[in-house]
Chains A and B, each alone.
Chain A
Amino acid sequence: MDRIPILQLGRFLLVTIQVDLQDQTALTLQEDLASRIERTGARGVLIDISALEIVDSFIGRMLASISGIARVLDATTVVVGMQPAVAITLVELGLSLPGVRTALNMEHGMKLLENALAEELDQ
């Protein structure tokens, strides 16, 4: 079975999904991310889906639950790089990914995570 690698960059975790996701691979990623956040104390998770040609309700649900799990573990998640055709289809399908923060690309996503962390340190 494919396992999606999780990279650590400072206080953030990076995931790039480059395979056509099987359902079980998506569930495994969810568990792997949860344990990596716990183990590393990461404060942010960036998920790059620019290579994904579709996001169906199963993958949408996975993105939403990763965001939820990460939030409970005190980390912010941002999903980046959704292709326009995927975004159009997703909304028509009826999914708007509530609770999932998104950014256009990796750079914007990193900035978003850094800002979220900086704001917290200010307080």
Chain B
Amino acid sequence: MSPQMTSHPDAPLLVAEGLAKYYGSRLGCRDVDLSLHAGEVLAIVGESGSGKSTLLGLLSTEMAPSAGRVSYRMRDGEMRDLAALSEAERRLLLRTDWGFVRQHAEQGLRMAVSAGGNVGERLMAVGWRHYGNIRDEAADWLARVEIATERMDDDPRTFSGGMRQRLQIARNLVTRPRLVFMDEPTSGLDVSVQARLLDLIRQLVEEFGLAVVIVTHDLAVARLLSHRIMVMKSGRVIEQGLTDQVLDDPREPYTQLLVSSVLAA
């Protein structure tokens, strides 16, 4: 390998080592190691109960691991053990440098707050104070996610499923996070709505060079969005690699089953 390839290895953004989670005696996931670089999209796939949502919870500090650790490269370049962050530091990270797009929008949005407010709230959390600026920035982001400006003062209870997901994305990206977690962001949506949302996510990921960890059971979503894929089964990562390689040349019996179960459109 040439010197210039090894001499400038940009450090990973997120590193997990020996991660495990038990719910009592029941296994959530175990032995997970991963590293994610800036601009990299990692899909975690597997069926219900495979441990993929548990893993996402551990990576995003929503759950404490039973073993192992997660580190993150802060904006100042320092690699920090997330378990060692103070609660204030952790909350700041979640509100600014990270995003979390959830399957159920009502868990990721404040449903009784206007669309503009949902976006503006994140800005206020990072210190924006000028009402006019906040409103302008919120309007700009609503336009980016294709929500008409005249809906800005409506609350998301009046929005369709697809609009709610797009609003979640605007709310998460307005602070220009470097890392976004996504938990089944397109499931439960009509196919045409899904396509629009996927396209939007794909564009934003590219434009902002986002690192993304996306949990999905939909291999087509993984193929469209991700660079790398991890296949989970019974709480363990059974296969991983370049997305198209794993999907086109799956090695493990379970991955072959998953891939062969997809209906080609």
Partners in one complex: no
Taking Cβ atoms with an 8 Å cutoff, the residues of A that contact B are none
Taking Cβ atoms with an 8 Å cutoff, the residues of B that contact A are none
